[in-house]
Chains A and B, each alone.
Chain A
Amino acid sequence: MASATASRGARGALGTVVFYVFLVVFVLVSLFPLIWVFKMSIITKSELFASPPTILPQDPTASSYATIFGDADFRKALVNSTIISGVTTVVCLFFGAIAAYAIARLRFHFKSLIMTLILAISFFPAVAIIAPLFVQFSQLGLIDTYWAAIIADTVFALPLTVWILVAFFKELPRDLEEAAKVDGATTLQAFRMVIVPLAAPGVFTAAILTFIFAWNEFLFANTFLFTPNTQPVTVVIPNFATVYTTDYGAQAAAAVVVTIPLVILVLIFQRRIVSGLTAGAVKG
């Protein structure tokens, strides 16, 4: 009896050890490229080419960062990315919140058809429309302006925003707005004064996800923007590989600079991001 308990305890302990080893390996594999590329960005040129490669940086230097921040195109690209993703996020939240509230609360015809249509966009291959969009944007003079990317990004980010917000709005108790309406508020007032503050966490989650989506977008940016004046970092950095052909340190530093804000966002908001993703994807 006692020995049976002991062996079960030992097996449990062994299971726990295996489980944690598995977790550590998993976390390391996930983070390895970031750690390694960070190392590449802070070592000297000669250490970069050392064979066998060094594990720890021998003589850390910031010269690769000096190179990229000394490049006006790179600095401009960071600004461009921020503007494009920021405006896309604001536009998506504005239209997305209104649409999502209507879908979550009001009764109207063709509701599920509309939701299916919106969902269909998530499955939509963006590449199928770049040719006609290119022609239209050229005619409208939008090529190589921020708007070309913002308009295209908005269409593909909106469904995500709407789905996440619908999921959040549905969880809010109906009674509160009804009470507001009984007190004489219009639907829009009830929305603004009651729902918006209550839904703030959901809206915030939708904003983070929309921002990440727009920050990461590449196809539209690479198709519609062709001067350093408007190109975001996602387009500029692969070109870095052409401009600084052999400056691997600069390429590594550029990759690190773009990923750091995302790592910070993920670390701070991981709980919200997970709930947003699963609300948008699994419940759909």
Chain B
Amino acid sequence: MVLPALLIILVVAFFPVVSSIWLSLHQATVTNTGAFVGLENYVEMFQNDDFVEGLSNTVIFTVVSVGLEFVIGLAIALAINRAFRGRGLVRAAVLVPWAFPTVISAVMWRLMFQDQVGIINYVANALGIISQPILSDRTLLLIAAILVDVWKTTPFMALLLLAGLQVIPGDVYEAAKVDGANVLQRFFSITLPLLKPAILVAVLFRTLDAYRVYDLFWAMSNRELESLSTFVYKAVRVSQLLFAQGNAAAVFVFVTSFLIALLFIKGFGMQTSAGD
């Protein structure tokens, strides 16, 4: 009974990966596999400025946004981990940014960053924070993209951490209080260790998600901000002269994502047992 679901996944996802690897070792085009060239596509890919820029943007974006999301998300989760009036409203507000399509969020924020009608551009200008239109500068665009990502997914991070917090039994804290542990001691020796599984799951999910960033960069920067995924998309779909290099980049994303997951599982001792 599991077979149909498994077959679909195998045929549509795993088979193409093998195919991607195969294509990346050839001088491939959309219509034909071409001559075997070994790792040449990978060498050329690393010499391609767009790829290098995409890689560096992706790494900066992932590290900074996931870092911020974790710290802010944890603070929010700790704050709302109690019964209070208006809890439903807060939960709904948390979910609204999460539920939006990323491209639509990007379009909405692009309107607010825009230099003629954008409220953020207006305020930042009035306060003297920026001296040029946000959308015309790549560094500002990257900062803006991080800001949008933090806005969109911090609540989700908070939600996952909150679910983890609610599993921690209250009497552990009572016992620690009796033993005279202060707030900070309780946080570092009870909350953090017991929350570790939830933290690892949430951070791994978010890291792999941020690492694949595509929609946000594509729609917000009007195709100007490069990421690994936009590089693959452009090479494979827009300028098909780069088809082989695009495949190499796709395999690169696949392998590095796998390594990131492995790092979390082995390095941080994450549990992957699929229940019983």
A-side contacts of B215, CB under 8 Å: 218-219, 234
Secondary structure call for the A interface: helix
Contact between A248 and B114, CB atoms less than 8 A apart: yes
Q: Does B89 contact A (CB under 8 A)?
A: yes
A101 to B212, CA, bound (A): 31
Query: How many residue-residue contacts, CB under 8 A, span A and B?
Result: 271
Closest to A267 in B: B92
Contact between B102 and A270, CB atoms less than 8 A apart: no
A121 to B222, CA, bound (A): 29
CB distance from A56 to the nearest CB of B (A): 13
Given A53-B119, A218-B103, A281-B205; A266-B4 close (CB under 8 Å): no
CB distance from B197 to the nearest CB of A (A): 8
Q: Does A51 contact B (CB under 8 A)?
A: yes
Mark out the residues of chain B between 75 and 95 whose CB falls within 8 Å of any chain A CB in the assembled complex. Answer: 76, 79-80, 84, 86, 88-95
Contact between B79 and A30, CB atoms less than 8 A apart: no
Closest to A161 in B: B5
CB distance from B53 to the nearest CB of A (A): 16
Contact between A129 and B233, CB atoms less than 8 A apart: no
Stretch in A71-79, A150-158, A172-180, A199-207 touching the partner = A150-158
Q: Does A130 contact B (CB under 8 A)?
A: yes
Contact between A30 and B94, CB atoms less than 8 A apart: yes
Mark out the residues of chain B between 92 and 132 whose CB falls within 8 Å of any chain A CB in the assembled complex. Answer: 92-97, 99-112, 114, 116-117, 119, 122, 126
Residue interface mask A56-87, B partner, CB < 8 A = 1: 00000000000000000000000000000000
Q: Does A136 contact B (CB under 8 A)?
A: yes
Stretch in B62-70, B136-144, B182-190, B242-250 touching the partner = B242-250
CB distance from B108 to the nearest CB of A (A): 5
Contact between A212 and B117, CB atoms less than 8 A apart: no
Contact between A26 and B95, CB atoms less than 8 A apart: no
Contact between B96 and A278, CB atoms less than 8 A apart: no
B-side contacts of A51, CB under 8 Å: 122
Contact between A238 and B257, CB atoms less than 8 A apart: no
Q: Does B194 contact A (CB under 8 A)?
A: no
B-side contacts of A185, CB under 8 Å: none
A-side contacts of B133, CB under 8 Å: none
A-side contacts of B151, CB under 8 Å: 29-30, 33
A123 to B91, CA, bound (A): 26
Contact between B272 and A116, CB atoms less than 8 A apart: yes
Stretch in B44-52, B157-165, B172-180 touching the partner = B157-165
Contact between A127 and B9, CB atoms less than 8 A apart: no
CB distance from B59 to the nearest CB of A (A): 14
Interface residues of B (CB under 8 A from A): 1-2, 4-6, 8-9, 12-13, 15-17, 19-20, 23, 30, 76, 79-80, 84, 86, 88-97, 99-112, 114, 116-117, 119, 122, 126, 151, 155-156, 159-160, 163-164, 198, 201-202, 204-205, 208, 211-212, 214-215, 218-219, 222, 228-229, 232-233, 236-237, 243, 246-247, 250-251, 253-254, 257, 261, 272-275
CB<8 Å pairs between A and B, sample of 8: A117-B6, A127-B232, A131-B23, A132-B15, A136-B16, A255-B111, A266-B92, A278-B163
